[in-house]
A = this chain, B = another copy of it.
Amino acid sequence: MGARGIAAGALIWSSRKRCFCSIHANAGSNASATAVEDAEIRPAKKPVDEAVTPRSQDFSRWYLDVIDAAELADYGPVRGTMVIRPYGYAIWEFVQSWLDAKFKETGHSNMYFPQLIPYSFIEKETSHVEGFSPELALVTIGGGKELEEKLVVRPTSETMVNHMFAQWIRSHRDLPLLVNQWANVTRWERRTKPFIRTLEFLWQEGHTAHATAQEAEEEALRMIEVYRTFAVEQAAMPVIVGRKSRLERFAGAICTYTIEAMMGDRRALQAGTSHNLGQNFARAFETQFTDVNGDLQHIWQTSWGMSTRMVGGIIMTHGDDKGLMLPPKLAPIQVVIVPIWKKGDEQEAVLQAAHKVESLVRAAGIRVKLDTFDQRTPGWKFNHWELKGVPIRIEIGPKDVANNSVVVARRDVPGKAGKEFGIFMDRSVLIDHLRAKLDDIQSSLLARATEFRDSNIVDVNSYEELKAVIAEGKWARGPWCGSDDNETTVKEETGATIRCFPFDQPEAKTCIFTNKTAHEVAIFAKSY
């Protein structure tokens, strides 16, 4: 949206309407009617295979086309805002439910802080205000009156949290205090992209307070590991875990841990972060406790967040020319059944068998949809559900009914190679087959993304090598002990930033920039 050259701060809902409707018309208006599995399919205005620009041709256009054609999201009326449609929101709900359970297992409680923050709060922590003040949305009028103090629409809640923690925490007995909230946040971003960077987005933000520096550090590491586990095991995204550089860390943190994912165009995506805040906010807000010796001390804090950006990451990690490809664990529909018939006697027998299979599969706890819409051909439906990224398609035609079997096709293996014929239409045989297949697709997606990632990270031993690798669009990994200024130079000259100092470190060598001995390697890449 920002790429269209609209000035920050301007509303473009009228021009947007014009601009986006042309895209929308291409993709048809298949509004999702009900709970995702039960949604009816409506006729699109254009053939489904014309709805999406091939990924290989224009990655950025492909991404926007997929979001539109698969009905994941739409543009809101205010520049840079996004409407998350049911199919996209269902993916987010799987992200939420997995993380929420994991947060509770690790001892965190959910709660809710108000989103309106007095402007003076933001100014209290020096680096925080520097980081966030250019991005703030400000409420200046309430109930028809000019407010005495401007209110910030929360961009993140550290300041609000500290204002409250300072009232609740008195003694070491009140620690650790471990909370999380699911919320919307607002950042006035200049360049926006659905899911990846929007003016408002949904996330969770964890906030914890501890009695010691060590406990805070352990917590920050524990939560980045939760994110890593989610990304790898649920989203099939082979992220690299590491530490951010001083320049790239969160405004107000002493250390930021990150998981970095490689998208299909080889740009990096920061997919989740966990911050050790040290005592920075505690000092700014006088958040203190009496320790076991009766001495007054500032608390040690962490914060950590994962957002709807993750949905964008999933699209850009796994999608292909045909559209979306969803990891089975997060797919709102895991199996779609497409019956194939010619009108007449065939129809009844095929539909009967299809309904039977649907019941079997649903009873096994697999998320299934039977597509009985009779105004589209099977071929159209194949394309449609491939575009929607459904991992498995079951085909049932008259011959299959006669053989008491079905055809099972994988989304991740194109054409005949991904099809298996004559799978017996019996509960134990079929369900076992589908479960094994879903597991296999899940791990295949991870393996494929891992291979892609590893073949696109190049070890470099000099700044010249780094420049060449970045120019190719790849990630460069090399020894680094440069200063903030050196890092800025690299960014200006190559467009790449330090994504992280990975936890997994090869032997240290000579810094590519300073030629001094480096104790760590850093990964450089262009990023979203």
Q: Are B137 and A112 in contact (CB under 8 A)?
A: no
| Chain B residues, Cβ within 8 Å of A186 | 115-116
Question: Across the interface, which residues of B come within 8 angstroms of A134, CB to CB?
Answer: 143-144
Instruction: Report A160-187 CB contacts with B as 1/0, cut-off 8 Å.
Output: 1001100111110111111100011010
Judged by a CB distance under 8 angstroms, whether A107 is at the interface is: yes
Q: B35 touching A83 by the CB < 8 A rule? A: no
Contact of A38 (CB < 8 Å), options: B107, B142, B145, B177 = B107
Within 8 A of B (CB), among A87-142: 88-90, 93, 104, 107-118, 121, 133-142
Asked if residues B142 and A139 are in contact (CB atoms below 8 Å), the reply is no
CB < 8 Å neighbour of A141 from B31, B90, B138, B177? B138
* Cβ-defined contact, A137 with B144, below 8 A: no
Q: Which of B24, B148, B163, B169 contacts A9 (CB 8 A)?
A: B148
Interface string of A457-472 (1 = CB under 8 A from B): 0000000000000000
Contact A109 B40 (CB under 8 A): no
B21 pairs with A167, CB closer than 8 A: yes
Contact A11 B149 (CB under 8 A): yes
Stretch binding the partner chain, chosen from A74-82, A323-331, A509-517: A74-82
Q: Does A85 contact B (CB under 8 A)?
A: yes
The answer to whether A86 and B179 touch (CB under 8 A), given A9-B147, A116-B137, A202-B112, is yes
In this complex, what residue of B is CB-closest to A202? B112
Report the nearest B residue to A373, measured CB to CB: B173
Cβ-defined partner of A109 (8 Å) among B36, B147, B163: B36
| Distance in angstroms between the alpha carbons of A108 and B144 in the assembled complex | 36
Report which residue of A137, A149, A178 has the largest number of chain B beta carbons within 10 angstroms of its beta carbon: A137
Q: Is A419 in contact with chain B by the CB < 8 A criterion?
A: no
Chain B residues within 8 Å of A88, by CB:
111
Contacting A84 at CB < 8 Å: which of B21, B90, B111? B111
Partner of A139, one of B33, B40, B76, B153: B153
Taking CB atoms, residues of chain B closer than 8 Å to A21 are 167
* A199 contacts partner chain B, Cβ-Cβ < 8 Å: yes
Query: What 0/1 pattern do residues 10 to 27 of A give for CB contact below 8 A with B?
Result: 110100010001001000
By the criterion CB–CB under 8 Å, are A143 and B135 in contact? Answer: yes
Does A399 interact with chain B (Cβ within 8 Å)? no
For window 51-89 of chain A, which residues contact chain B by CB distance below 8 Å?
74, 76-78, 81-86, 88-89
Are the CB atoms of A112 and B139 closer together than 8 Å? Answer: no
Q: What is the CB-to-nearest-CB distance from A187 to chain B, in angstroms, rounded to a whole number?
A: 9
Contact of A77 with B121 at beta-carbon distance under 8 Å, contacts A138-B142, A142-B138 already known = yes
A215: Cβ under 8 A from any B Cβ: no
Taking a contact as CB atoms closer than 8 A, the residue among B104, B140, B171 that contacts A140 in the complex is B140
A112/B84 in contact, CB under 8 A: yes
In contact, B114 and A11 (Cβ under 8 angstroms)? no
Within 8 Å by CB of A90, from B76, B86, B109, lies B109
Give the nearest-CB partner of A175 in chain B. Answer: B33
A114 vs B81: C-alpha distance when bound (angstroms): 6
The answer to whether A118 and B78 have CB atoms under 8 Å apart is yes
A112 CB, nearest partner CB in chain B, Å: 4
Judge whether A33 and B177 touch: CB under 8 Å: yes
A188 to B145, CA, bound (A): 10
> What is the 8 Å Cβ interface bit string for chain A, positions 177-212, against chain B (1 contact, 0 not)?
111000110101010000000011010000000000
Residues from chain B with Cβ under 8 Å of A183 in the complex = 184
Contact B141 A109, beta carbon cutoff 8 Å? no
CB of A437 within 8 A of chain B? Answer: no
Residues in B neighbouring A138, C-beta threshold 8 A = 139-142
Alpha-carbon gap, A199 to B151, bound state (A):
13
Taken together as a complex, chains A and B put the C-alpha atoms of A135 and B145 apart, in Å, by 10
User: Is B148 a contact of A10 with CB atoms below 8 Å?
Assistant: yes
Q: Is A115 within 8 A of B184, CB to CB? A: yes
A362 CB, nearest partner CB in chain B, Å: 14
Residues on the B chain within 8 Å of A10, using CB: 147-148
Check A109 against B76 for contact (C-beta < 8 Å).
no
CB atoms of A167 and B115 under 8 A apart: no
- Check A150 for interface membership: any CB of B closer than 8 A: yes
A390 → chain B closest CB, angstroms: 16
Closest 4 pairs (CB-CB, A-B): A143-B188, A86-B109, A81-B114, A76-B114
**Can you sample 23 A-B contacts with CB below 8 Å?**
A24-B167, A31-B174, A35-B107, A42-B171, A43-B173, A77-B114, A77-B118, A78-B118, A82-B114, A83-B111, A86-B111, A89-B109, A89-B112, A112-B202, A134-B144, A135-B143, A136-B143, A137-B139, A139-B140, A139-B153, A140-B140, A143-B188, A144-B188
